[in-house]
Amino acid sequence: MNVPYPLPTRQPYTGERVKELFHAAGTAISAWAEANGYTRHQVYMVINGQFKGRRGTSHEIALKLGMKLSVEQLAA
């Protein structure tokens, strides 16, 4: 399940912006987490900034949420 909003092209989203976008789309963050094979705890830790998303699972989550830009986006 992809995120219910368009991914950023220039600036990554903040945690607050991600929450706003999920709310506007009417999609629960926990439902998105489960559909993508992550725990609700992991996703909320990334959104709230406790996990920085530098590597591993937190990095994958941050990329999928648009909180980090991919290498392809940075090169463009």
Q: What is the pLDDT of residues 53-71, one digit of tens each?
A: 999 999 999 999 999 998 8
- What is the domain extent for residue 48? 15-75
41 assigned to some structural domain? yes
Q: How many domains does the chain have?
A: 1
Task: Give the pLDDT confidence score for residue 75 in this predicted structure.
Answer: 82
Q: Does the reported pTM lie above 0.85?
A: yes
Q: Kindly state whether residue 4 falls inside one of the protein's structural domains.
A: no
pLDDT of residue 12: 97
Sign of CA dihedral 41, 43, 49, 52: positive
Q: CA angle, corner 10, sides to 7 and 14, nearest 5?
A: 65
Is residue 3, in this structure, part of any structural domain at all?
no
Residue 2 belongs to some domain of the structure: no
With respect to residue 59, please indicate whether it lies within any of the assigned structural domains. Answer: yes
The token duo for 37 is 């094979």
Give the CA-trace dihedral at 59, 45, 35, 23, to 10 degrees: -110
**Is 60 within a domain?**
yes
In the DSSP assignment, the letter for residue 8 is P
pLDDT 10s digits, 3-31? 999 999 899 999 999 999 999 999 999 99
